[in-house]
Amino acid sequence: MTLVSRILAGGSTEGAVLALDEPLSFWGAFNPRTGVILDVHHPQCGRCVSGTVIVMSETRGSGSAPGAIAEAIRLRTAPAAIILAIADVNLAIGAEVAATLYGRSCTIACVDKGVLAILRNASCLRIAADGALTPI
How far is it, in rounded angstroms, from Cα 118 to Cα 60? 22
Residues 76, 49 contacting (CB under 8 angstroms): no
* Contact partners, residue 82, CB within 8 Å, separation at least 6: 53, 54, 56, 59, 88, 91, 106, 107, 108, 109
Phi, psi at residue 135, to the nearest 5°?
-65, 135
Active-site residue among 62, 64, 105, 123? 62
DSSP 21: S
Residues 115, 133 contacting (CB under 8 angstroms): yes
- In this structure, the number of other CB atoms found within 10 A of the CB of residue 103 comes to 9
Is 123 noted as a catalytic residue in this protein?
A: no
Catalytic residue numbers, as ranges: 62
